[in-house]
Amino acid sequence: MKITPRSVFTIVATTSLLATLITAPALAALDDGYPEGAAAPGRTCAPDAVGQKELSSHSGKNLSCILIYGVAKWWIDGEPLPAAEATAAPVAPASPSPQAPAPASDGKKFVLENSAKITLKKGSKLITVGDVRPAQVLIPGTLKAKIAAPLLVALPGFTATTNDLLALVDLTAEAYKRGVVLALPMGSKNSGGLHFWNATGSCCDFEKSGVDDSKYLMDLVKQISAKVSIDSKRIYFFGHSNGGFMSYSVACSNSEKIAAIVNLDGASFADMEMCGAKKPVSVLQINGTADELIHIEGGDVFDDPKQPYSSVKAETGKWAQIDGCVGMPVMSKKKFNYESVLAGSETTKAKYKCPKGVDVEMWTIAGGAHLPKINTAFTSAVFDFLLAHKKYRLISLSAQVSSDSLL
């Protein structure tokens, strides 16, 4: 049976109702005396009201509509959760199964069932960096002595872990081969225990925590650089889905420090004018034509009109403008086989005409889903794109571009 985001919502709504019925006795005393229909501690609120605040005329206390273990409820600001809910069974880990309780904007079906673990090769090591939300960092044994290494920060999607991301795209093999330090952070956890990145207003800080993930990621880069010799001209980001959104956002706010990014099946701001990048960043945007969640022409995250995102044309067009590229994208005549299940060479490439040293490219996987079956040729080509770019000061963003820069 085909599962759609809308069917996931229906299941989640049902589980939320069951959770409400189960916890109702424990919460009954909390709203005693409050007028019927008014906000009261423990009473449910609409999922789209999460983040709203209300001053109770009955108690004089401030209440907020928050997700309490997957159920949207009113609660007194600053008060601990009731014991009945604090001891509730934790939410099941991210998986494609729609039966697990989760917040209304659930992305579990967009995580692979089997995750991948890092197997260290000879001379390599895995370290943990950071005090707040520590991240795993793979230091390959292929690094050259006294030569600063490039750094790739890889960002998983909503609900996903780093192991889920590596099951989708095995970045470790190329990191070993190319001598690239690979950082594997994860997003914050929401009240349901699901990982997210606060990339844009639409994705995926649905509880409006306001966490500054751009600052977190750039602080992480700084902390890694204090432990490993990192080439500051070769800082790269790769993200899938919500991680793709985040790769755009961190580049928009740190364009002077980031050389290139890759956005796989993610999007960006609904209004690309919100991207405040001042310096060129090379961008590779990759999408599948059969993506069930993120559409090439733009749309709404989980089909919620309050969570819009822009089209690939708008996103890459904005970066082309920032990077000083001219004209319209030029399509390559060659096709590429980057998806192991789809027959033949399914991927096309297009790129803008840009100043030397910077590129804006679009790869389109014909028939590609939100979780494409990526092969090693894809991963190798992604590393080729990233490592071809270094951070440097352009003499003139309006400089002529030679025809040999085209695919």
Cβ atoms 77, 55 nearer than 8 A: no
- Greater confidence (6 vs 38) lies with 38
Q: Count CB-CB contacts under 10 A for residue 15.
A: 18
| All domains of the chain in start order, with CATH | 5-89 (no CATH), 109-405 (3.40.50.1820)
What pLDDT digit, counting tens, does each position of 261-301 carry? 999 999 999 999 999 999 999 999 999 999 999 999 999 99
Tell which wins on pLDDT, 77 or 171. Answer: 171
Q: In Å, what is the CA distance from 356 to each residue of 319, 323, 394?
A: 15, 10, 9
Judge contact between 350 and 116, C-beta under 8 A.
no
Would you call 136 helix, strand, or coil by DSSP? strand
First and final CA of the chain: distance in angstroms? Answer: 41
The residues with which 315 forms a beta bridge, in sequence order, are none
User: Is the omega angle on the peptide bond into residue 204 within 30 degrees of 0, that is, cis?
Assistant: yes
Q: Beta strands 282-288 and 299-300: pairing type?
A: unpaired
Structure tokens at 26: 């424990």
Residue, of 67 and 232, whose pLDDT is higher: 232
DSSP state, 357? T
90 Cβ neighbours under 8 A, 6+ residues apart? 193
- pLDDT value, residue 2: 42
Which residue's entry shows tokens 């991680």?
A: 243
Q: Which two tokens stand for residue 67?
A: 């997700």
Residue 91 predicted with pLDDT over 60: no
The reply to whether the predicted model has a pTM over 0.75 is no
Question: 348-352 — which CB contacts under 8 Å span 24+ positions?
Answer: 349/407, 350/407, 351/406, 351/407, 352/316, 352/320, 352/323, 352/325, 352/326, 352/327, 352/328
- Reading phi first (left if > 0) and then psi (alpha if -120 to 50, else beta), residue 249 is in alpha
The residue written with tokens 């600063």 in the block is: 148
Sign, CA dihedral 69-70-73-75, equals positive
Q: Are 275 and 269 in contact (CB under 8 A)?
A: yes
206-231, pLDDT tens digit by residue? 999 999 999 999 999 999 999 999 99
pLDDT digits (tens, 9 = 90+) for 357-379: 999 999 999 999 999 999 999 99
Identify residue 231 by its one-letter amino acid code: D
